[in-house]
Structures are given as C-alpha cells and as structure tokens.
Amino acid sequence: MGQRVTVAVPDQLFKRLQPVKKHFNISAVCQEALEMAVVTQELKIQATEGMGLVERLQAEKAVLLHNVQQEGFELGIRSSSTLSYQDFRHFERVNAVAAHLDEDALEYLWDFLDFKAYPQQARLHDPDFAHLLKVDPQSRVFFAQGWVDGVLSVWQAIKSQVDVN
C-alpha cells in the first residue's frame, strides 16, 4: 500500500478536470508526474554534486577568464606603441577605475584602438576569444582590465627613461 498525498490544483484546472476524470486514473497520472519530477531532480543532484561538475566548471571558467585577461594584457603591450605620453599618463591616473569596469569597457577600448588606427586583425590572436567577448559580459571586463594592465606594464618599464630631466 502506498502513502497518501494530497494534491491541490487551481480552481480552473479542477473545473476542467470534472467532466474528464472518468477517463483516466488521477492517482496514476499524479504518480507518473511525481516520478518524472523526482528522477529529474535526482539526476540534477547527481550531475552537480556527485561528479563535482560545479567545481570543475568553476575551475574551467577561472582558467578561461585568466586566458582572456592574458590576451587583453598582450594586446595592451602590443598596442602601446600607438599611445602618446598623454595616453600613458591618463591610463596611469585612471588605473584604479579599471577594477570597476563594466561590460561596455570593451566597446570603448575598440573605439579607442580605432582612433589610434591600431589594426583590427592584430587585436585578437585566438578567434575563439572574439566569440566569447561577444557573448560573455564578464570576459569583456577581464579583457579590458588586462589591456589596461598591459599598457601600464609597458609604461612602468619606460616611465623613468621618459621622465628624465
């Protein structure tokens, strides 16, 4: 013998059920629906907890975002040759803001590089990053932050030579 469970249904569904309930076993329909819901939930729990899926995906995401930031960093280094003294000083001043960039930062970066006539084909070495930057706001932020870090790494390496007087 099974356990009894009370199921509440909305009034509208109850009204619709009345004329057709003779044509099927309400208890069997509810059992089947509950069985499917329980199996689905068990599979979700097994997939996320049992196999460490969440932890693995978090680790993969961290690696991917690091690679995106590194790609931005390398572009910052490469594109530094197009920057002026004022540009370097500006990025040095606003560096603290780079930690709080939003997803629009990448659009501003592309506009800035267009203004500096930095070639588009030299911006991304990995074509997968182009797609990722289009679909993932967090990757756009990491890429732009990496670019600022790359520019500033060049500036820190040459600043003392430039400011000699």
Distance CA 161, CA 159 (A): 5
Residue with structure tokens 């995906």? 57
- Mean pLDDT confidence for 106-118: 87
User: 105 with 76: CB under 8 angstroms?
Assistant: no
* Measured distance CA(129)–CA(143) in Å, rounded: 9
Q: Does residue 44 sit in the same domain as residue 60?
A: no
Please indicate, yes or no, whether the overall pTM of this predicted structure exceeds 0.75.
no
In a domain, 17, yes or no: yes
Rounded Cα gap, residues 111 and 83, in angstroms: 14
pLDDT in tens, 5-35: 898 999 999 999 999 989 889 888 888 888 8
Q: In this structure, are 16 and 61 located in the same domain?
A: no
Range of the domain at 70: 55-162
Domain count for the chain, please give it: 2
- CA–CA separation, 30 vs 46, rounded Å? 24
25 and 90 in one domain?
A: no
